[in-house]
Amino acid sequence: MTATGRIDADVCIVGAGAGGAVAAAELAEGGAKVVVLEQGPHHDADRFSARPIEMMTALYRDGGQGVTLGTPPIVLPLGRGIGGTTLVNSGTCFRTPAAVLERWQREYGLHELTVQALDPCFARVERALSVAEVTPELAGANAAVARRGAEALGWSHGYLRRNASGCVGSGVCAFGCPTSAKQHTGITYVPRAQAAGAEILTGAQVHRVLVRDGRTRGVQASLDGGGGLHVHAPEVIVAAGTIHTPLLLERSGLGDSSGQLGQNLALHPATGAFARMEEIVDMARGVPQSFYIDEFSAQGLMFEGVAGPPSYVAMSLPLTGARHAEAMADYRRLAQFGLMVSDSSRGSVRSFAGRPLIRYDLVEADLARFRTGLARMRELFEAAGAREVYLPLPHGVAPERARPRDLKLMAFHPLGTARADARPTHGVVDGQLRLHGVEGLHVADGSVVPSSLGVNPQITIMALATRLAYHLLSRPCPS
Amino acid sequence: MRLIVALARRPRGARLLAALAPVHQLAVGLLAMEHYEDPVIARELGWDADAVAARGRALRREEGRP
């Protein structure tokens, strides 16, 4: 996968994650000559060791320790390489909620993005990824603990739908699936694209998108092995992800006529609580994210399973010293569940010395959501029969008194930094994901999603990329 | 990440990190993670990474997955 010089293509795609890989396969199978430039490497599943620290270094940007600047600082893990973050996510698949699509129509003028219009795109993605509900047996004992608590409290819950086929519950979805059961884009859409003739180049750093007279001409890149590369293409799809797409557009001097480029960053700030149970849980045996509780989703709170091997728990467990060691000695009886907030806070991304600088401060409304959510998590585990509950707060701090700096947060699902809005004065791309004011330049990743979804976004991004591909092929998406 | 772990292992490095609260928190977490990634310690807690990875490889070969 190396090349130098000049390549001519119908479509050049920057990034092989959730958006880029899907667009590449659909376009190549539709007869287009496609070139994909991916900054990261191809990951060989033979090297997946089920050891979190080793795998984080290999599969994540900055070893999974990228952090936002603000109060509180939030760890924002992002995948890198063929498959992008789909390689390291939990595999959860939710369609875009109808209420969110209605909001997009109302607030952003995206009238074409209706439930009906997107249905064939979602169905196509779900078929390609073998999306199915997790069975209780595969979900494991960690999910059973949460289910027991939710049932005792009468909270709405269910098993999640995931893109997995032949899963045996290895428990390390976030660290490289050793069975290749998780149907990430690197083993689904990318091989399809290659089989249809697409050229996939790894280690390709795209410097600029080239535009002349308001028309896209291609991209300028360099390759890890040395040498420059010009891809000449009348259509370019930028799919470098919510954090890096605005930086590429900024470097290219494009997309900021509205002043919205790099703004409106939405995240799902999240945290996890632990409980010490009477029974053996062995949380890493089973699907880590297999069960959800949506009782409080209208309040912006979503509870989803999370779990992992001892080393992962050792890093996440909100205890120190002897208490940490004592709880870890009882690892087999530890259960964990996650809390994800649909945020009102908005951040920004800009370039600093060539790297993304992410600014994000938690607003009062989101702090209130975390206070409520953490109190609910305590209720959940107590209802499930926990001997002890460990909330991610400093010792002695009750949820209702938590301050932003007390929260130990991670964030997932960054969205919105090149948001879609029908009005050129308010958004970076239009409803067809075309950059306002430039012919032939499109964006197909989380950056176009104009608001928080409240659910995991991977198949929203994939459905939008599918729709874009068929738009460029001038055909309707097959139903 | 490796740099932070290397610093945290040395007394002077640990003192330097202690002055930077979020980095210190990260370093402590990474050290704990590294400790429990030790195969002997992990196996005592019921986790055998080598067995999980080997089962994955065998299933992939058996079922012809990438």
Digit-coded pLDDT (tens) for A62-88: 999 899 999 999 999 999 999 999 999
The predicted-structure confidence for A419-475, as pLDDT tens digits, reads as follows 999 999 999 999 999 999 999 999 999 999 999 999 999 999 999 999 999 999 999
Q: Taking residues A191-211, report their average pLDDT.
A: 98
Amino acid B29: pLDDT: 86
Q: Is A248 left (phi over 0), alpha (psi -120 to 50) or beta?
A: alpha
Taking CB atoms and an 8 Å cutoff, what residues of chain B touch A324? 32
Q: What is the per-residue DSSP string for A241-289?
A: -TTTHHHHHHHTT-S-TTS-TT--BEEEEEEEEEEE-SS---TTSS-SS
Per-residue pLDDT at B9: 78
Neighboring chain B residues of A407 at a CB cutoff of 8 Å: none
Q: Chain B contact for A225, CB < 8 A? A: no
Chain A residue with CA closest to B49: the answer is: A50
Q: Could you give the residue ranges of the DSSP H alpha helices within A109-211?
A: 115-128, 136-153, 189-195
pLDDT at residue B28, as a whole number: 83
B7: containing domain: 2-63
Output DSSP code: residue A392.
Answer: S
What DSSP character marks residue A14?
E
Structure tokens at A305: 């399973």
Sign of dihedral through CA atoms A449, A292, A316, A374? positive
Q: What are the pLDDT digits (tens) for A294-330?
A: 999 999 999 999 999 999 999 999 999 999 999 999 9
The predicted complex's ipTM stands at 0.93
Q: Nearest to residue A336, comparing CAs of A189, A193, A142?
A: A142
Domains of chain A in start order, with CATH, are: 1-43+94-128+186-264+415-479 (3.50.50.60)
Q: What is the model's pLDDT at position B19? A: 67
- Nearest-angstrom CA–CA distance, A474 and A472: 5
Q: Are B45 and A191 within 8 A, CB to CB? A: no
pLDDT of residue B22: 67
A125 contact B CB<8A: no
Q: Which of A159-173, A262-276, B3-17, B45-59 has the lowest mean pLDDT?
A: B3-17
The number of domains in chain B is 1
**What is the pLDDT, as a whole number, of residue B10?**
80
Taking alpha carbons only, the member of A364, A425, A411, A28 closest to residue A242 is: A411
**With an 8 Å Cβ cutoff, are B56 and A177 in contact?**
yes
List pLDDT tens digits, range A359-386.
999 999 999 999 999 999 999 999 999 9
What pLDDT does A1 receive? Answer: 46
The minimum CA-CA distance between B52 and chain A, rounded to whole Å, is 6
Q: For all residues of chain A together, what is the average pLDDT?
A: 97
pLDDT digits (tens, 9 = 90+) for B2-47: 677 777 778 887 777 776 766 777 788 889 999 999 999 999 999 9
Does residue A2 surpass a pLDDT of 60?
Answer: no
What is the average pLDDT across A199-207?
Answer: 97
Q: Look at B26 and A65 and tell me if their CB atoms are within 8 Å.
A: yes
Q: Which among B2, B25, B65 is the nearest to A180, CB-wise?
A: B65
Contact list, A282 vs chain B (CB under 8 Å): 46
pTM, full prediction: 0.95
At residue A412, does pLDDT exceed 90? yes
Per-residue confidence (pLDDT) for residue A436, from 0 to 100: 98
Residue A43 has pLDDT above 60, yes or no: yes
CB nearest to B35's CB, from A181, A314, A317 = A314
Q: Which residues of A are catalytic?
A: 413
DSSP codes, chain B: -HHHHHHHHSHHHHHHHHTSHHHHHHHHHHHHHHHHHSHHHHHHTT--HHHHHHHHHHHHHHHT--
